Structure 1
């Protein structure tokens, strides 16, 4: 296998007696787009700041392009960084903001002008129309594009994005994240993107690092993270999850309310009578009996929410509440609260939570 372009090796960070990052390991290939996903305070931004050189690790090492950069200052690492706050210089024009890093580095004026024009073209803000504007004359999305162009102008080895979309409205966020991914692919730059928004991470990443309590709970593709969560935290944090509480019987069967689920594999070390937790995604569940499903549970409609094309239904099955979505059919009215129903699913879609 080729050597990773960016390698974070057993990195940890403590502030006094508080440890915020614990033995963090990650290898990133050249041109890969990695997202750090997790709740506030999980350590994702701290790891990013250590890669950038703004925080010194308490232990471990960081290697970029085969060079140990752990002890180097930020300006010695050739890294581009985009922050949540746009951090543009208000007294400089768009073109001057983008070319600022090149000017500081002593690049010739003609090369700066050429690079600025190239960057403005990449972020779809033509130089003739936007180059002479000041930040206050731009929308939030346009300002963040300029911040991105400024980070990319010096041709950094690695691009770091610290929740760059969180200050934008929902519609702009979606369009801009797609543009960021498109630009990243075009330039082939190795990128780490920090977010607490799972939809962002799932939609644009080559791989996702789900973090919790200063550790990487799981590293994998969006498909792997969503469909095969490695821990209970990942299962509950990524996507919507139903958790069914049941009692383990013989031969891997679990009693849930008055129904029974036959697990594909018996839980290791499980004993008859043990309480177990089963996880199931809403899209795996059907209202009523569906052909091919081998698990059927009786229940009662607890809630119905009409959302236009989709009707979100919550069903009480034993001691658990199960959420599922059905498509709106104008010819069929939605179920009513209190209706006795059945839900069905494949036992192969059931995840046993540890």
Structure 2
């Protein structure tokens, strides 16, 4: 049996339903990210797990125990917020010790646990500092230690890195993942940052308009999106309008280019329209590139972006972007030049609504 189960979860505020029939089973020790744009319902689901919001329908179960009627304080859950939420009148030691004191732990146990947590986040030398004397990254590590100190059964993180600058964000997300693996704690992480979710998650839930559009590993979400929303939201994806040529052979036409797809076109008939998608990194202009198909078009623009060169070409009024790694002798394709983009037909995805 899964450790954390969300079954048919719904949440309405007045006439507005913000979470609709949300279902998920999370295993013990998993790191799950809820990914989606603002207003998609991801934080509302997190708050229902924590007990800050009551579901309008459905059940939340942790370790076999129904949580719906339990108060937040009865759920044994650790929570880290976006805005740190440290007590400004307490030093680092007392902030981390707060939950243990509320739980009635004895002083020797509190001191030992706080010392352990400060070593875990590498801030034992700052135990006497106050929040205003620390950087944002240090404050968020203290907030993480405070959430972990009472040994919660589930750790919830609500966009904990969004207030930090880019460099600190990358290092702290790696530290959070390392700590989570070390402790083996079941974790749910809310973010709108695709790179964060892809880099640290065991599985990702891509949310759209209150629903889980797709649940899968980072590789599955990126390489095999199952809905148009996931395909357009996660990473950069070329959306190409095609026409079915031969449904029995799974071939489609893009202008005069005929492509055999890996996926079945299903019940579509010759002449029917469908959308197919291609990642920018899938193609190559090299004549020696391995690939079983190609598209020929006219260069619209080419941009040097440091590690990559991004080129856009027009193929039968489809604008297609592709990326190639920079090299010292790289020559940028010129606007108006006719080029052939080579790739594998298996790189194409059929995008369904």
Q: Which band: TM-score by shorter chain?
A: over 0.9
* Matches of 1:263 and 1:112, distance apart in 2: 61
The answer (yes or no) to whether the contact 1:258–1:297 under 8 Å persists in 2 is no
The equivalent residue for 2:312 is 314
The equivalent residue for 1:204 is 200
SS in 2 for 1:330: coil
1:244 aligns with 2:236: no
The equivalent residue for 2:164 is 168
Render the CA deviation track for 1:234-255: whole Å, top value 9, x for unaligned: 1111111011112221243222
The equivalent residue for 1:15 is 13
The equivalent residue for 2:2 is 4
Question: What does residue range 1-354 of structure 1 map to in structure 2 within 5 Å?
Answer: 3-126=1-124, 129-250=125-246, 251-354=249-352
Count of paired positions: 350
* Matches of 2:149 and 2:306, distance apart in 1: 45
* Matches of 1:159 and 1:14, distance apart in 2: 25
The answer (yes or no) to whether the contact 2:4–2:62 under 8 Å persists in 1 is yes
SS in 1 for 2:112: helix
SS in 2 for 1:171: helix
Residue 288 of structure 1, CA deviation: 4.3
Render the CA deviation track for 1:83-109: whole Å, top value 9, x for unaligned: 000000101001010001111111111
Q: Which runs of 5+ in 2 are unaligned?
A: none
Render the CA deviation track for 1:128-187: whole Å, top value 9, x for unaligned: x20000000100000000000000000001000000000001100000000000000111
The TM-score with structure 1 as length reference comes to 0.96
* Matches of 1:332 and 1:73, distance apart in 2: 61
* Matches of 1:188 and 1:299, distance apart in 2: 51
Residue 289 of structure 1, CA deviation: 3.9
The answer (yes or no) to whether the contact 2:226–2:351 under 8 Å persists in 1 is no
The answer (yes or no) to whether the contact 2:310–2:322 under 8 Å persists in 1 is yes
> Larger deviation: 308-317 or 41-50?
308-317
Render the CA deviation track for 1:8-55: whole Å, top value 9, x for unaligned: 111100111111101111111111111101111111000000000000
Q: Return closer, same or farther for 1:266/1:154 CA change in 2, 3 Å cut-off.
A: closer
Residue 258 of structure 1, CA deviation: 2.8
RMSD of aligned Cα (Å): 1.2
* Matches of 1:16 and 1:136, distance apart in 2: 39
> Larger deviation: 302-311 or 196-205?
302-311
The answer (yes or no) to whether the contact 2:289–2:342 under 8 Å persists in 1 is no
The TM-score with structure 2 as length reference comes to 0.97
